[in-house]
A and B are shown apart, each in its own frame.
Chain A
Amino acid sequence: MLAKHNPQLNRHGELIHLLSVEGLSRDILTHILDTATRFVSVSDRDIKKVPLLRGKTLFNLFFENSTRTRTTFEIAATRLSADVINLDIARSSASKGESLLDTIANLSAMAADLFVVRHSESGAPHLIARHVAPHVHVINAGDGRHAHPTQGLLDAYTIRHYKKNFSDLTVAIVGDVLHSRVARSDIHALTTLGCAEVRVVGPRTLVPADIAPLGVRVFHDLKQGLTDCDVVIMLRLQNERMNGALLPSTSEFFKSYGLTPERLLWAKPDAIVMHPGPINRGVEIDSAVVDGAQSVILPQVGFGIAVRMAVMGIVAGNDA
């Protein structure tokens, strides 16, 4: 096999695109988290803007709908003084049969500097990154089941914020791991950053058979999976991705894998509860836990803005 160069890095090993957490070294991940720490304070100032991306244009290309994620990218870009254009792809040229690469070429002709891309096909941002001009940067906002790198990074940031040292931590990722790009990105981030133990918990139909090589311990029993955990990350049950007999019903799922206050007691007393959102109350997680003292779900959102600012700030400052 011919050695293939990591498309996320330039020849100096600097980040020019963010396509997946996998393939990035611990140093790069730590640099992103440290940079995010600096950007957290921007939200606390009177003037919530720094001019780093002034004059740059960022296109939000969401082939899959997500107002939440798109909004956080928009806020992050705006805080860096970039101009943001949101493209409603579903209703526009793609639905008229325009190919993905033609869409990108047309937008590039309108002087795009950054693309934030969410797509239902794994690998779509890689394809785009191969075809953009050297000064254009691509950030993956989620591709199929493959990766959601900014979510993985903000989850790592949140854990670092509350728990400090990864090397002491046991983290459990619970739910629909099979379809979850968040789970994959979390796993790569946590294992690269040296997390002591990463667990995945779910029914056999929702946990891929070959996930252990990614560096995780697999559990099908929630109690065993949560015992003595420092962090519990609950995943959303991906209804729209489920086809063909993976789960009988959501109530079945909640019976065995839903996080209730009683079940949270199996984890360490100071364990934190996270969720990438949007939350299905009563499906994967009980309202009492969402609103409870151990939940850090809302702070995750704020950290998400800082992490996205950090990613944009870093890639935009590196040449191809």
Chain B
Amino acid sequence: MTAFHLDAEALYSELLRTLPALQTASTRLVGIASGGAWLAQRLQRDLRLPGEPGVISSSFHRDDFAKRGLSHGARTHLPFDVQGADIIIIDDVLFTGRTMRAVLNELFDYGRPHSVRLAVLIDRGGRELPIQADLAVARVQLAPQQSLALARDVSERLCFELEPQTAPTSPDSPSLVSKG
């Protein structure tokens, strides 16, 4: 198996190019902690949007509290009135959809938005809930046991971390496919 490589910076550039299609005049960006929050910060700056992006945490609404306890994570910080807002949620990877469900519940604790869209760098399939991204820069297929997450080095360069690197070998395991 060849090593799998995703160029996060390249994917970000593509996101930056395609996101304006979702934007309205008053769109607010909200990044899911922590990978989505980094992306939202960059986008806010690179799109020259006024103000600062929101950060949203799924911790309080996760459905795995009984098994995993209270997860560590940043606080939700939404520096705008959610009521009536047009919001784009930004995240690094969309997988089962459960994080997004929790994030939506968290968001609605703050008010009733006018619209909510989802933009992600990578959609890796494997959905367990009826949740879809409005914008996904790349679609990949990974083994369920593999975890994919965005990382940021000291110079704020983005990269992806895939653990384990290779999928467990079995005749039926899906091959790694990258589609633009």
Which A residues fall within an 8 A CB radius of B?
14, 35, 37-38, 41-42, 45-47, 49-52, 313-314, 316-318
B109 within 8 A of A: yes
Q: Residues 104-143 of chain B: 1 if any A CB is under 8 Å from the residue's CB, otherwise 0?
A: 0100111100000000000000000000000000000000
Kindly identify, within residues 49 to 87 of chain B, every residue whose CB is under 8 Å from any CB belonging to chain A.
57, 59-61, 65-66, 68-70, 75-77
Report yes or no: B109 in contact with A314, Cβ–Cβ below 8 A: no
Q: Can you show 12 pairs from A to B with CB atoms below 8 A apart?
A: A35-B70, A38-B59, A41-B76, A42-B60, A46-B109, A46-B111, A50-B109, A51-B105, A52-B65, A314-B70, A317-B66, A317-B69
Which B residues fall within an 8 A CB radius of A?
57, 59-61, 65-66, 68-70, 75-77, 105, 108-111
Report yes or no: A317 in contact with B60, Cβ–Cβ below 8 A: no
A45 to B81, CA, bound (A): 11
Q: How many A-B residue pairs have CB under 8 A?
A: 38
Report yes or no: A45 in contact with B69, Cβ–Cβ below 8 A: no
A314 to B105, CA, bound (A): 21
A14 to B179, CA, bound (A): 43
**Chain A residues with Cβ under 8 A from B60's Cβ?**
42, 50-52
Report yes or no: A50 in contact with B66, Cβ–Cβ below 8 A: no
Task: Please name the residue on chain B nearest to A53 by beta carbon.
Answer: B65
Main secondary structure of the interface of A (DSSP, over half): loop
**Chain B residues with Cβ under 8 A from A316's Cβ?**
65
Partner of B69, one of A42, A46, A318: A318
Partner of B110, one of A35, A38, A46, A51: A46
Minimum Cβ distance to chain A for residue B79 (Å): 12
**Chain B residues with Cβ under 8 A from A47's Cβ?**
108-110
Question: Apart from A45-B109, A50-B109, A316-B65, what 18 extra A-B contacts exist at CB < 8 Å?
Answer: A37-B75, A38-B59, A38-B75, A41-B76, A41-B77, A45-B110, A46-B109, A47-B110, A49-B109, A50-B60, A51-B60, A51-B61, A51-B105, A52-B70, A314-B70, A317-B65, A317-B66, A317-B69
**Chain A residues with Cβ under 8 A from B109's Cβ?**
45-47, 49-50
